[in-house]
Amino acid sequence: MKKLLFLLLTSNILLLTSKAQDNDKIALAFKNSYTNETAAEYTNAIQNIKEVYAADNYEINLRLGWLHYMGGLFTESQTYYQTAMNLKPYSVEAKFGYVYPAAALGNWEQVKKQYVDILKIDANNTTALYRLGLIYYGAEDYMKAFTNFEKVVNLYPFDYNSLLMLAWSNFKLAKTREAKILFQKVLWASPSDASALEGLGYIK
Amino acid sequence: MRLILVVVFFLQIINSAKAQSPLTFSEVESRSYKLYSEQKWDSLIDYLRAANKAGINYYYLQARLGAALYEKKKYRSAAFAFQKALNYNSADSYAKNSLYYSLLNSTNTTASRYLSGKSESIRKETDTLGYNKMGFIYAEGGVKFCNKKEPLGNINYFNLGLRHSLGRSITLYHAFSFLGQYKHYQQIKQSNYYLGAWIQLGVNWKLCPSVHLFWINKSQQTEIPISPPRPLARASKSNEQAFSLVLQRSFRVFDLGAMASYNNFDGIKAGQFGGYLTLYPFGSNVFSATTTAVYHTRKMAAYQTVFKETINFKLLKYLWLTGEYAYGNEQVQLQSEATFPANNSLDPNNYRYSILLTSPISKSVSLYGFYQHEDKDENATNVSYTFNSIIFGLKIKL
């Protein structure tokens, strides 16, 4: 019995020691990667993290996603962000990360999907609402754009960017009275704003 | 000598290994951008296709591939590349407009018009080019010369056609034609009305229904034909109809179609079922070859399965040739914009072949000449005879 207890204790200590050593390795790898990233040495930064790579580690995959994006390796970046998303499906952070390489590749359908997925998790995420609104606006789907911008303005009534886009969405939907009021509010936030003045010019 | 062979052998291995080293995104992006900027279209096409095969695919790859194919006038292939680009970025106006022009330049005007209906930006930028409600007018006429004037006779033919669109997804073709056969003991006059439609169900899908109505007037026979003995035919009027439906799916270098038709020619209800494959090996309309196979439900030896081969190519800068050979009696042909879409003759074809030459003489006007040889058997007597048709026509873009 004593022997068994001794064995259990020893193995636990060994396990804890080994985990602590792993943790130290990973922490050092991250530290070195930050240093290399600051110096724009992305290949070295990637190498730092790859030395401790584990496919089931969310943080490592997330970090590699970012570093590959910064190094211009967009498809590889997407792969790591996707792995991170698979490990933590409710991670809004990983989805926002994925958006960067997807946009760089011109894969806007994938970008849109990430924002839609983010809003399923966090329905009032204003960043996703605003950016998705911009995508819809660019695609001339003004109704959907309006819905997104309206939600943001409801939460942040005096936010310049979303007020302006809500004004333009109203204008495109021929709601000129609402658009006029909104453009005027934009001018309170940003006097002499060129875009707001342009919008008001069309309405007059 | 042995040393040279060994060196050559190892060099080949090295080159082979180099060629097989996997492409990375950054290599593809930088090299393809360089080739694109330098407008080296052939190299860009080969390189991007290799990258795609290696599993690399993203918006800019497809957009650059489309641009290179477009510059090489491979408009059909370019259209498919731009469609793939739009899968990555459905709102991109460059890819949308380029797709529109690729479809237009590959003479797929129904698809380009359909696309313009889906995008306000395309409509704004291109409405003066691709969309006009009135499409074309056709006028053609000719004679079918019979080698056996007794008891048969030549047939005079005249046809007037109009193609126009109904909205941006539907194109209609109307044809009014008249045939007159003047045997010395009987006259047969036939008036036809044909209505065909192209319904664009998507950029790559077309549904083509058609209806063909025939009004036939036969005069009283003035004397009994030579053989076999039979009573004098009275004057008669009859109506016949034919209906067909074609569903076509377009792919990068081929179209695939399925067809079904029904007719009541000679008072007998019959159907035809079949399909066709059209190949565009060069990714453009410069050359195409269509193979058609059709099965007849009419249980007579004369109505066997029909096989047809059609080739279409640009012979000269301003001259297009379409050659066709059909074995068997095809009663209802697939939609065509000119000549007979249906063969309601009592006497079935054994085979036929034809040549169509088309020449655009200006931006709006094309002239065409058509020759067809039909080998037929007379229905009652089984006597073989031939028709040689010569038809000339004019197509005016409105």
User: Are A108 and B25 in contact (CB < 8 Å)?
Assistant: no
User: Are A75 and B88 in contact (CB < 8 Å)?
Assistant: no
User: Which residue type sits at A174?
Assistant: A
From chain B, the residues in CB contact with A139 under 8 A are 90-91
Query: What pLDDT, on the 0 to 100 scale, is given for residue B340?
Result: 47
Burial class (CB in 10 A: 0-12, 13-18, 19+), B93: middle
Interface contact B123, partner A, CB < 8 A = no
From chain A, the residues in CB contact with B90 under 8 A are 108-109, 139
Beta pairing partners, B289: B279, B311
Interface contact B33, partner A, CB < 8 A = no
pLDDT in tens, A22-81: 899 999 999 999 999 999 999 999 999 999 999 999 999 999 999 999 999 999 999 999
Interface contact A72, partner B, CB < 8 A = yes
For residues B185 and B151, the answer to whether their CB atoms sit within 8 Å is: yes
Domains of chain B by start residue, with CATH: 19-128 (1.25.40.10), 134-397 (2.40.160.40)
Burial class (CB in 10 A: 0-12, 13-18, 19+), A97: buried
Q: How far apart are CA B63 and CA B95, in angstroms?
A: 7
Domains of chain A by start residue, with CATH: 10-123 (1.25.40.10), 129-204 (1.25.40.10)
Interface contact B93, partner A, CB < 8 A = no
* C-alpha distance from residue B66 to each of B61, B118, B131 (Å): 9, 20, 23
Q: How far apart are CA A69 and CA A79, in angstroms?
A: 11
Q: How would you write the pLDDT of chain B (398 residues) with one tens digit per residue? A: 666 665 555 555 555 444 456 788 888 999 999 999 999 999 999 999 999 999 899 999 999 999 999 999 999 999 999 999 999 998 888 999 999 999 989 988 889 889 888 877 777 776 654 555 668 898 999 999 988 766 678 889 999 999 888 888 899 999 999 999 887 677 889 999 999 999 999 999 999 999 999 999 988 877 766 666 666 777 888 899 999 999 999 999 999 999 999 988 878 888 889 999 999 999 988 899 999 998 888 766 556 788 999 999 998 989 999 999 998 877 666 544 434 456 677 777 888 999 999 999 998 899 999 999 999 887 777 788 899 999 999 999 88
Give helix then strand counts, H and E, for chain B.
Answer: 8, 14
User: Are A75 and B60 in contact (CB < 8 Å)?
Assistant: no
Indicate the SS3 state at residue B175.
Answer: strand
Which DSSP string corresponds to A40-83? T-HHHHHHHHHTT--TT-HHHHHHHHHHHHHTT-HHHHHHHHHH
Interface contact B227, partner A, CB < 8 A = no
Give me B242's structure tokens: 């034919």
**Count of A-B CB contacts under 8 Å:** 47
Q: Chain B residue with minimal CA distance to A75?
A: B25
From chain B, the residues in CB contact with A107 under 8 A are 58-59, 88-89
For A72, the closest of B26, B56, B92 (CB atoms) is B26
Q: Which residues of chain A have pLDDT under 50?
A: none
User: Are A73 and B90 in contact (CB < 8 Å)?
Assistant: no
Pairing of strands B134-146, B384-397: antiparallel
The answer for residues whose C-beta is within 8 angstroms of residue B317's C-beta and 6 or more apart is none
Q: Chain A residue with minimal CA distance to B30?
A: A72
